[in-house]
Amino acid sequence: MRVVSGIQPTGKPHLGNYLGAIRNYVKLQDEAHDAGGDCLIFLADLHAISMPHQPAELHASTLEMVATLVACGLDPARSVLFNQAQVAAHAELQWLLMGTARMGWLNRMTQWKDKAGKNREGQSVALFGYPVLQAADVLLYQATHVPVGEDQKQHLELARDIAQKFNSDFAAEDAPVFTLPDPFIPEDAARIMSLRDGSKKMSKSDASDMSRINLTDDADTMAQKVKKAKTDPEPLPSEPAGLAGRPEALNLVSIYAALDETTPEAVLAEHGGQGFGQFKPVLAERLVSVLEPIRDRFVELRDDREALDAILARGAARAREMGRPTLDSAYRALGLVRG
């Protein structure tokens, strides 16, 4: 079992990142540890430069993201925690895979289409090639489980396509260079939506801070955001079918269910018939009870820059070791001479 996943260190991590991905990093870290496998979680700082960015901000938010991940339960002694920029093999393997990835495949990526909008000509080449780096991230380590939210599913399917084509073009059938990775997507929290608009996903890049719960928000801010969350005037139904056509209500019920690790059915069995005036304070209370301990640990860890740097340096050294055999095989398979 080899668990691999990444998170961009841009902006503040939010509830969607936590319920959709980070919580599963921690679960799989423990499963991998018990099964004698490995868990590698990295900060996708190389991905972060595909969009305009402020270098000083990227530097600071990379260290803050390490503190957040540790606060969420990632244990640097059990997981390999690092940033891409310290492991050159990610960028090297991306280049090796560029010969295999097809323009048509990348053109179909919905994230590329959404981020580029009508201005494709004005985008960086890195934004277009972004999914190839993501493929390199997981293929480098022969990942078997990749915990992600729903929005990354298409990128992982592309990683499988790239691996399959590379293996069939350059490797013997009984000795593939790459393992085909499987996405590990939670059932209920795969897509947490904005608190201001139930049709948009909760996102670090949304201009409105009221659209998301940041893992670093204090209890009052969280409660305030839940109170102000967009809803409709109807009370909650007693069954999930009654949430059809009510995206904001569905989102709040899904968040509650995910926080409690239960199902929307169970939440509605208990809270059906309540108006949002009654439901929101209970939701806010749940949210605070899950996230406040994380925030407290984050506050303790964030200022110890030396300790955070040391975690990344140690993780990177291990990741370099773990990625070397696959990188060497990829060079060899392509016929490249390296002395």
Residues near ligand TYM (CB under 6 A) are 5-8, 16-17, 20-21, 44, 47, 134, 137-138, 146, 148-149, 151-152, 190-192, 201-202
Residue 169 class from Cβ within 10 Å (0-12 exposed, 13-18 middle, 19+ buried)? exposed
Residue closer to ligand TYM by CB (options 40, 268) is 40
Q: Listing from the earlier edge strand, what are the strands of the sheet with 80-83?
A: 80-83, 38-43, 2-7, 145-147, 182-184
Residue closer to ligand TYM by CB (options 182, 300) is 182
Report the nearest approach of ligand TYM to the CB of residue 277 (Å).
Answer: 26
Q: Is 192 annotated as a binding residue?
A: yes
Q: Are strands 38-43 and 182-184 parallel, antiparallel or unpaired?
A: unpaired
Q: Is 203 annotated as a binding residue?
A: yes
- Cα distance between residue 234 and residue 245, in whole Å: 12
Q: Is 149 annotated as a binding residue?
A: yes
Q: How many helices (H) and strands (E) does the chain have?
A: 14, 5
Q: Is 150 annotated as a binding residue?
A: yes
Report the nearest approach of ligand TYM to the CB of residue 85 (Å).
Answer: 13
Q: What CA dihedral angle connects 91, 95, 97 and 98, to 10 degrees?
A: 130
Catalytic residue among 12, 201, 225, 280: 201
Report the nearest approach of ligand TYM to the CB of residue 17 (Å).
Answer: 4
Q: Tell me, yes or no, if 201 is annotated catalytic.
A: yes
Q: Is 202 annotated as a binding residue?
A: yes
Residue closer to ligand TYM by CB (options 6, 73) is 6
Residue closer to ligand TYM by CB (options 14, 302) is 14
Q: Which residue is nearest to ligand TYM (CB)?
A: 20
How large is the greatest C-alpha to C-alpha distance in the chain, in angstroms? 72
Q: Please, which residues have CB within 8 angstroms of residue 14's CB and are 6 or more apart in sequence?
A: 202, 203, 204, 212, 213, 214, 215
Report the nearest approach of ligand TYM to the CB of residue 237 (Å).
Answer: 23
Catalytic residue among 27, 153, 165, 204: 204
Residue 130: Cβ within 10 Å count: 23
Q: Is 193 annotated as a binding residue?
A: no
Dihedral sign for Cα 94, 96, 97, 101, please. positive
Classified as helix, coil or strand, 119 is coil
Catalytic residue among 115, 153, 165, 230: 115
- Cα distance between residue 89 and residue 333, in whole Å: 16
Q: Is 321 annotated as a binding residue?
A: no
Structure tokens at 35: 């099964």
Report the nearest approach of ligand TYM to the CB of residue 274 (Å).
Answer: 25
Known binding site: residues? 8-10, 16-17, 137, 149-151, 192, 201-205
Known binding site for ATP: residues? 8-10, 16-17, 149-151, 192, 201-205
Query: Which residues are known to be catalytic?
Result: 115, 201, 204
